[in-house]
Amino acid sequence: MHQWIPNLIKEGSESEIIEENQERAEAMADYFGTVFTQEPPLDKEPNQNKESTNHLLTVDSDQDDVLEALSILNMEKSTGPDELHPKILRYIAYVATPLTVTFNMSLDQGMLHMNWKV
């Protein structure tokens, strides 16, 4: 039979082994109960009635910002949530100007171009 919890040494002992599953589970529960930190409850509930404005404040980005961000990417890192490897982003930096213009136009108009939607 496969054992999910290995044999444990009883706390405070150097050689007394806990072999029974129930005892091992209780020993682990006792241990984790001592190291668990319970956070105090929040002082105040979030305001559920707050009205949303649903608009983005002004965002200024220019080609230099984009190129600078691309130039400092760590090429040894893995992909991010966009699933684009940093090497790919670095190699396509030449499209920074048209992308910056298109992105800013989209922000100014408050609309996303249909081709950009997935």
Taking residues 75-99, report their average pLDDT: 85
Please answer whether residues 12 and 31 qualify as being in contact, where contact means their C-beta atoms are separated by less than 8 angstroms. no
Ranges 7-11, 56-60, 74-78, most confident: 74-78
Mean per-residue pLDDT over the chain, rounded: 78
74: its two tokens: 């760590």
Q: Is 54 within the bounds of a domain?
A: no
Q: Measured between alpha carbons, how far is 82 from 113 in angstroms, rounded to an integer? A: 18
pLDDT at 1 over 60: no
> How many structural domains comprise the chain?
2
Taking residues 6-22, report their average pLDDT: 83
Taking residues 60-82, report their average pLDDT: 85
Q: Is 49 within the bounds of a domain?
A: no
Whether the predicted model's global pTM rises above the 0.75 cut: no
Q: Is 68 within the bounds of a domain?
A: yes
Q: Is 55 within the bounds of a domain?
A: no
Phi, psi for 67 (deg, rounded to 5): -65, -40
Per-residue model confidence (pLDDT) at position 11 = 81
The H helix count followed by the E strand count for the chain is: 4, 2
Q: Measured between alpha carbons, how far is 45 from 47 in angstroms, rounded to an integer? A: 6
Domain hosting 23: range is 1-40
pLDDT at 4 over 80: no
Residues 107 and 73 in one domain: yes
Strand ranges inside 1-118, DSSP E:
8-9, 17-18
